[in-house]
Chain A
């Protein structure tokens, strides 16, 4: 197989491609020109042909989503594009790399998407903590506006204020409308009724930034890259954790987890061995070592019960206590649950209480069953998938590391003691005295 070129981060391999002049030199904004010479339907067709799928986590076909947006003559309301730059899934840092290294390609993608759905207004919703990233995109936007590239399209950057749930598309729209970021029930889907009750195309930063490259190669050519037919093209994998060379690596879909960790990432350092992989993000089941040869594409992963999510591959070495890992993941979801629906609001807290009791050796064998039972009562029963996500990662830890969980019960405490790097870990929920399950403990 021929070497797959870098696409999304092309030209920024060595140094960031920040200025308009440098981006133009690398062929920047030529695809926008081409797109604008095409009909919106033809642009959408290229996206459909490419089989580009959402990089935000749900892997929905991008071209199909764009085709759901009604044409302007069919609706009395304006059409919007919303770019999801909330990037808060634990382990994910790819959109940040895009915004810092190729901000103009993101702007070009926004304008191509706007043309495809005949929208004149784009919002980029960027997580509030991203300051350098916001400045980078704002600078590119100002330059593009000055150069007359925007035409009659307006792009507004909207900064979030610290809430993981605002990455969920309908919560994002609520937040953009100046409300508490709580998900809406679907349907209607954003394509029909999104921001300000208007048709809204919502896509992840990486999805949008891939669009210029889809046009450059042509949809059909793009569809040959990666692991066709489902996982076409490249993906910026976020490699982190106990690995020698962590980083954001843009690779074709279909390389194996082992290749990424061992060849590209240099393996587990310090003579340790790999115990588990947080695969796709913390919202999905953890991977165990026997599955390391699975190709990183949605179909191969799906066959084994895994998800590609936002391209996260976090390596966990053999020191880590998996009860502590499940507890820390659970604390995240408890902290971020928006409280709108009961299975999640109550379930996330209950799981933290149970996992804490298990970790301390204050639980019985029956409590392990209870954890799985609580997870079962959350999966498929929450308003958005935040609650399901918590249940998925926790249940996978209990099921796949049953012996470790049982050892806590039998030992009356953590068998790893201080050897686990997660021992005694403090979490933000501990900071909130009003949170029911929080038992703030002094660190020293």
Chain B
């Protein structure tokens, strides 16, 4: 983890805006990402903050956020586990890996553990097809994950 950013979200967003031509809305995606990194998910308040920093309406920012799979409009756990379930991983063992996480965490895909620690998601192809099954743990890819590896991954997150 890097040192906590002492800049406000507003200032961070202004810095991102300079990368794009003036008068364009290109900073919306990076700004939403910054807000989500800061707050964990995009609450109504977070979206309002982004909108204000970009001089756009909250409705516009919400409409953009809701289009993209990686933006969370509901609270998520402190950690995320994303299991690729597309065909290349599925042909090898993705279903067994996903089921192992379901058993180990006691939740269904799309859910968060009651203690708010871990969100489990089934996702589409992550682009790691030569080392199935790909599991993104807090957005870092783990390669060639087998069902036997699952308890250790969950343990690691619970202790981390």
Q: Point out residues on A near B: beta carbons under 8 Å.
A: 87-93, 95-96, 127-132, 156, 158-164, 175-181, 196, 238-242, 246-248, 278, 282, 314-317, 320, 325, 328-329, 332, 335-336, 338, 421-428, 430-431, 440, 442-444
Residues of B within 8 A of A (CB): 19-21, 24-30, 32-33, 63-64, 67-71, 85-88, 90-95, 98-99, 102-103, 108-110, 121-132, 136, 139-141
Q: In the complex, A425→B122 CA distance in Å?
A: 11
Is there contact, CB below 8 Å, between B69 and A422?
no
B131 in contact with A246 (CB, 8 Å): yes
**Minimal beta-carbon separation of B44 from chain A (angstroms):** 18
Name the residue in A89, A96, A129, A423 with the highest tally of chain B Cβ atoms < 10 Å from its Cβ: A129
CA–CA, A162 and B33, complex, Å: 11
Is there an interface contact between B127 and A129, defined as CB atoms closer than 8 Å? yes
What are the residues of chain B within 8 A of A93 when measuring CB–CB? Answer: 127-130
Partner of A239, one of B87, B90, B130: B130
**Cross-interface CB contact of A132 among B24, B122, B140, cutoff 8 Å:** B140
Residues of A within 8 A of B71 (CB): 161-162
Shortest A425–chain B CB gap in Å is 5
Contact B67 A90 (CB under 8 A): no
Contact, CB under 8 Å: A178 / B25: yes
B127–A163 touching, CB < 8 Å:
no
Chain B residues within an 8 Å CB radius of A314: 87-88, 91, 129
- Bound-state CA distance A315–B86 (Å) is 14
Of A89, A177, A180, A329, which contacts B26 at CB under 8 A?
Answer: A177
Q: How far is the CA of A421 from the CA of B94 in the complex (A)?
A: 9
**Contact indicator B85/A428 (Cβ below 8 Å):** yes
Some 23 contacts from A to B, beta carbons below 8 A apart, are A87-B127, A88-B124, A127-B127, A128-B68, A156-B20, A178-B26, A179-B64, A180-B67, A181-B67, A196-B21, A240-B129, A240-B132, A246-B130, A246-B131, A328-B90, A422-B95, A425-B90, A427-B85, A428-B122, A431-B109, A440-B110, A442-B108, A443-B99
